[in-house]
């Protein structure tokens, strides 16, 4: 179990840790000289049964709150220290507020220096502390009166800490490994060592990790947990990792780094959508785009706060916001941020991460805000259920796993008991509830019906055009998957790249209808070698420019396809020509066929064969491989979109 001290400067935090562990956490010469904790100190106590009680001693001076924040990001219990002679002081309040903002819900209070005051003063300070705790999530914490000099009260505090430690359940090691680095140093003969608290996952000796800020890969040569050599570490432990790799040195790695088991592109982001909560009090309202300092893990950066629900946020209020950082954060959903003012002198509030990869545009639109309210559920299961129930365009499962730091097997276990429709595509997959999937299919059919009404003279739209006609604009991958099912079921038909409802036939303007009746027989389904445009113009007695304009109109309507610059084909004739390629490929052991074999089988002649095969290559129906070709797509791809 990890315990962090908190409290005002010179209230006895370091002396109390020494009384509890025998370890002096003031390790820096400047700390010894000034009698003041400047940076983080660490002490461990072996409980004798394999468990360890770890202490993070933080500085109490106002100037070193940044260092204090670096040490309390992932602790299990806060130990608030208040001197009986001074009582509650400014840093007492700020440190307590920080513990509350970070979601620490277990704490104890030590009232120190009780040997310097009268008993009545101890009771007075105790009452003030309990009143202060009452406004936080750690109300009712045990209060102990102690003297670091005489040892009075220390055994009672020690007994309570040990009881907490022995009943403390280890953190689940779910998720990919993440460690917030708070110290970096070199060891003679070993190389770079980083220390910090593991926020999630497990790490094994010999494993390869990524230093996220530096963007460099490192190998874990050795691991220490709670001051002891081990072969693996896990979430909730203080770890020292001996890292090696190109560029892994103290020039590249510093406090604030994250060592993670994930690609850098997936974990770093400079736009983080959050639930922001301001501390109550007399501070001014926070305005949109206010400059702040953001503390996360053991690091910090300057940033701006984009309020997503209004232009101001009053003290004590909460709202959705986007934190736009000057340096990227390595955050996942549920992480806690602490915000301080532009001068880094006052703590303003805190935030809980919802989406660590917030959008640049559309962040205040109603659908986006509704999405964030669903996604901010604390548990993965609740968040997924809420999103599945209300997301009309499904849930991007790659985004969900990355945002909530889920390993592949954890995501699979989460989805397995749920009735979902999974749509795979090149960037991952989406999940739909059955109701959402039915709405998508119905929406596509309805959008196609409306499109036919508005464009009665055309065969139908392509996939992208049909998507644009829908109100929800679902992802193209979902549209493509839904269309495949609708086509398989016969509810929608495909002609080349165009879509239509069964029974739909273009209604041509009268002039075009008369001309089509005249020309149709010359460009029929059986005509795999139709006349060229000049020849066709002579056959029907038209000027070539007028005929070409007519043919282009039918091309746009999907009634014709063009496989050569001067030849137009009936779509069914194109399918016949494509079927020849399929036959030849099926007859070949390697699936390849050449132009000569195609010419002989199709009977369309050498020049037209070359034009037809080049058209097939362009549409993606075939792929040229030297002097041969292979069919690589369905026949409908050959028809094209006209």
Tell me the pLDDT tens digit for each residue of 537-592: 999 899 999 999 999 888 878 888 999 889 999 999 999 999 999 999 999 999 99
With 0.75 as the threshold, say if the pTM is over it: yes
φ/ψ of 444, rounded to 5, equals -65, -45
Q: How do residues 208-258 score in pLDDT, each as one tens digit?
A: 999 999 999 999 999 999 878 999 999 988 899 999 999 999 999 999 999
Question: What is the CA 398 to chain-centroid distance, rounded?
Answer: 8
φ/ψ of 549, rounded to 5, equals -65, -40
Strand-pair category, 428-432 with 498-500: unpaired
Question: What is the CA 77 to chain-centroid distance, rounded?
Answer: 29
43 against 368, higher pLDDT:
368
Strand-pair category, 77-83 with 52-57: unpaired
What's the mean pLDDT in 622-635? 94
Instruction: Determine whether 134 is exposed, middle or buried from the number of CB atoms within 10 Å of its CB (0-12, 13-18, 19+).
Output: exposed
Q: Would you say residue 431 has pLDDT above 90?
A: yes
Q: Which of 606, 610, 601, 513 is nearest to 554 (CA)?
A: 513
Q: Would you say residue 617 has pLDDT above 80?
A: yes
d(CA 396, CA 421): 12
d(CA 398, CA 377): 18
Q: Would you say residue 7 has pLDDT above 90?
A: no
Whether residue 74 contacts residue 236, with contact meaning beta carbons closer than 8 Å, is answered with yes
Q: Would you say residue 605 has pLDDT above 50?
A: yes
pLDDT at 641: 47
pLDDT at 579: 96
Mean pLDDT for the chain overall: 89
pLDDT at 41: 75
State the sign of the Cα–Cα–Cα–Cα dihedral 46, 48, 52, 54: negative
Q: Which residue segments constitute the domains of the chain, with CATH numbers given?
A: 2-167 (3.40.50.300), 178-262 (2.40.30.10), 265-367 (2.40.30.10), 510-639 (1.10.10.10)
What's the mean pLDDT in 469-483? 87
Helix (H) or strand (E) holding 194, with range, is strand 191-200
d(CA 640, CA 615): 9
The greatest distance separating any two alpha carbons of the chain, rounded to the nearest whole angstrom, comes to 118
pLDDT at 426: 67
Whether residue 278 contacts residue 318, with contact meaning beta carbons closer than 8 Å, is answered with yes
pLDDT at 120: 94
Runs of H (alpha helix) within 404-523: 408-415, 434-454, 463-468, 476-488, 510-519
pLDDT at 45: 83
Please list, in sequence order, all residues whose beta carbon lies within 8 angstroms of the beta carbon of residue 59, skipping any fewer than 6 positions away.
9, 36, 37, 38, 39, 40, 65, 67, 68
Q: Would you say residue 31 has pLDDT above 50?
A: no
Q: Which of 596, 611, 617, 606 is nearest to 562 (CA)?
A: 611
* 642 DSSP assignment: -
102 against 596, higher pLDDT:
596
Confidence of residue 104 (pLDDT cuts 50, 70, 90): confident
Q: Would you say residue 529 has pLDDT above 90?
A: yes
d(CA 445, CA 489): 12
d(CA 343, CA 235): 33
């Amino acid at each position: 179990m990890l315990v962090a001290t908190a409290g005002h400067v010179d209230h006895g935090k370091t002396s109390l840790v020494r009384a509890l562990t025998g370890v002096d956490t003031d390790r820096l010469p400047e700390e010894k000289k000034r009698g003041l904790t400047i940076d983080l100190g660490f002490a461990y106590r072996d409980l004798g049964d394999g468990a360890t009680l770890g202490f993070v001693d933080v500085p109490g001076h106002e100037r070193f709150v940044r260092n204090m924040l670096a040490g309390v990001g992932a602790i299990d219990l806060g130990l608030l220290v208040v001197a009986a002679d001074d009582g509650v002081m400014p840093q007492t309040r700020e440190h307590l507020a920080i513990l509350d903002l970070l979601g620490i819900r277990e704490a104890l209070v030590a009232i120190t220096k009780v040997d310097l005051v009268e008993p009545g003063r101890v009771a007075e300070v105790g009452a003030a502390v309990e009143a202060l705790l009452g406004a936080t999530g750690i109300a009712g914490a045990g209060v102990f009166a102690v003297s670091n000099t005489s040892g009075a009260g220390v055994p009672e505090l020690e007994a309570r800490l040990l009881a907490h430690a022995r009943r403390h359940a280890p953190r689940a090691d779910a998720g990919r490994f993440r460690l917030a680095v708070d110290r970096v140093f070199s060891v003679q003969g070993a190389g770079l060592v980083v220390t910090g608290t593991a926020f999630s996952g497990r790490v094994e000796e010999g494993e390869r990790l990524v230093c996220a800020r530096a963007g460099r890969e490192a190998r874990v040569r050795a691991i220490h947990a709670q001051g002891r050599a081990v072969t693996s570490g896990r979430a909730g432990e203080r770890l020292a990792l001996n890292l090696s790799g190109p560029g892994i040195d103290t020039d590249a790695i510093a406090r604030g780094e994250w060592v993670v088991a994930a690609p850098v592109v997936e974990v770093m982001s400079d736009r983080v959508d959050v639930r922001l909560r301001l501390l109550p009090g007399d501070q001014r309202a926070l305005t949109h785009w206010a400059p702040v300092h953001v503390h996360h893990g053991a690091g910090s950066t300057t940033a701006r706060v984009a309020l997503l629900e209004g232009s101001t946020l009053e003290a004590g209020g909460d709202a959705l916001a986007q934190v736009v950082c000057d340096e990227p954060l390595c955050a996942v959903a549920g992480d806690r941020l602490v915000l301080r003012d532009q001068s880094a002198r006052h703590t303003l509030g805190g935030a809980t991460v919802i989406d660590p990869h917030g959008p640049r545009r559309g962040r205040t639109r109603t659908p986006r805000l509704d999405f964030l309210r669903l996604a901010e559920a604390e548990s993965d299961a609740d968040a997924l259920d809420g999103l599945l129930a209300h997301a009309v365009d499904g849930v991007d499962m790659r985004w969900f796993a990355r945002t909530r730091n889920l390993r592949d097997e954890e995501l699979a276990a989460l989805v397995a008991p749920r009735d979902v429709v999974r749509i795979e595509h090149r960037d991952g997959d989406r999940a739909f509830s059955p109701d959402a999937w039915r709405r998508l299919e119905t929406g596509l059919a309805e959008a196609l019906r409306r499109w036919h009404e508005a464009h009665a003279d055309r065969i139908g739209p392509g996939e992208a055009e049909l998507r644009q006609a829908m109100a929800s604009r679902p992802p193209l991958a979902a549209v493509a998957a839904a269309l495949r099912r609708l086509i398989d079921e016969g509810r929608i038909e495909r002609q080349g790249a165009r879509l239509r409802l069964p029974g739909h036939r273009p209604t041509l303007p009268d002039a075009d209808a008369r001309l089509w009746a005249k020309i149709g027989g010359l460009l029929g389904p059986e005509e795999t070698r139709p006349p060229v445009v000049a020849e066709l113009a002579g056959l029907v007695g038209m000027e070539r420019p007028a005929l070409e304009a007519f043919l282009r109109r039918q091309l746009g309507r999907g009634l014709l396809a063009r496989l050569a610059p001067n030849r137009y084909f009936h779509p069914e004739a194109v399918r016949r020509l494509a079927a020849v390629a399929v036959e030849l490929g099926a007859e070949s052991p390697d699936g390849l066929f050449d132009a000569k074999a195609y010419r002989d089988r199709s009977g369309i002649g050498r020049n037209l064969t070359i034009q037809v095969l080049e058209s097939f290559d362009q549409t993606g129906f075939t792929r040229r491989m030297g002097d041969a070709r292979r069919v690589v797509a369905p026949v409908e791809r050959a028809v094209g979109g006209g």
